[in-house]
Amino acid sequence: MEYQIAADSLKDRVILVTGAGDGIGRQAAISYAAHGATVILLGRTVSKLEAVYDEIEAQGYPQPAIIPLDLSGATKQNYLDMVETIESQFGRLDGVLHNAGLLGVLSPLDQLGEETFDDVIQVNVKAQLLMTQAILPLIKKAKDGRIVFTSSTVGHEGRAFWGAYSISKFATEGMMQVLADELSNTNVRVNAINPGGTRTGMRAQAFPAEDPAQLKTPADIMPLYLYLMAPEGRDVHGQCIDAQPKRKPGAAS
Ligand code: NDP
């Protein structure tokens, strides 16, 4: 399917992007800003967030904001404070892209360390739950609210050695479905994206021997990311959509 939206489709929308300093999140933040959104850049490495901020400003897109937050240690109170900051600064929140993620260590399940499991579940699942709980009152006030989660091919089909990461992405899809069902009679649309193999640091960590040139770039997969945040995607709800539906999962040959 071709996902197309108008050039100014996200005008006046305030969109929070987690993991906005690098990889897919960085590109999503820039693409949302390019379509008129005020983006809130959330991540744990301030220098990377500042570089994205500068790039958005240099292009003349709406002035973004930065929220430094490490999701591995963030508490419920941190998320409540975050929402208070967003509400006082912008008065609204129209969309959230839950993008930040941790791969962890790939290993057979019987050797999966408890610490790796806890870290990955904390960042990929619990942080999204706590953040979603905190933002719901504000996003429900939006005329056309959006919550977009990030899954993976191993979030609906288990694969040997992908242990904690795969389990966390199954949980992400479950959270998306539960929330979508609960919000079906509201103005908030809830979906997930499976990016498919994409040229980023995380992908290189998972497949170090792969030629990155064989992979799509974050910019290549942006049409779906834009569509699910834009008025054009209003009718999509409760789905996990592949950004690269024709791609064969696993390492690129
Ligand atoms: P990257 O590793 O390139 O970027 C991940 C981002 O998340 C970084 O900005 C990173 O911050 C941030 N992040 C990680 N941990 C934390 C934390 N504790 N607190 C705050 N921010 C954090 O990954 P991708 O861009 O490849 O992945 C983006 C999403 O897409 C993830 O959810 C991933 O699981 C998913 N995905 C990616 C695929 C791919 O092929 N690339 C395929 C399928 C799914 P920092 O830069 O500071 O480390």
ipTM of the complex: 0.99
Atom of ligand 1 at shortest range from CA of 18: 21
Q: Just list the catalytic residues.
A: 165
Mean pLDDT, range 6-34, rounded to an integer: 98
**Taking the chain, what is the end-to-end CA distance rounded to the nearest angstrom?**
25
Ligand 1 lining (C-beta closer than 6 Å): 19, 21-25, 43-45, 48, 70-72, 99-102, 123, 150, 152, 195, 197-198, 200-203
Q: 201: CA distance to ligand 1 center in Å?
A: 8
Instruction: Pick the closest to residue 125 from 98, 163, 157 (CA basis).
Output: 98
Going by the DSSP 8-state scheme, the letter that residue 62 receives in this structure is P
Q: Tell which residue, 207, 219, 170, has the closest CA to residue 192.
A: 170
Stretch 153-169: mean pLDDT = 97
Whether pLDDT at 133 is above 90: yes
- pLDDT value at residue 253: 59
State both tokens at 142: 């939006």
For residue 149, give Cα distances in angstroms to 110, 220, 241.
28, 19, 10
Query: What pLDDT does 1 receive?
Result: 67
Query: Which residue, 98, 118, 125, 124, is CA-closest to 28?
Result: 98
The architecture in CATH of the region 14-195+223-242 reads 3-Layer(aba) Sandwich (3.40)
Q: Name the residue of 16, 18, 24 to mutate for ligand 1: max ligand atoms within 8 A of Cβ.
A: 24
CA of residue 207 to ligand 1 center, whole Å: 15
Is residue 62 within 8 A of residue 35, CB to CB? The reply is: no
At a CB cut-off of 8 Å and minimum separation 6, what does 4 contact? 223, 227, 232
Break the chain into its structural domains and give their ranges. 14-195+223-242
Query: Is this structure's pTM higher than 0.80?
Result: yes
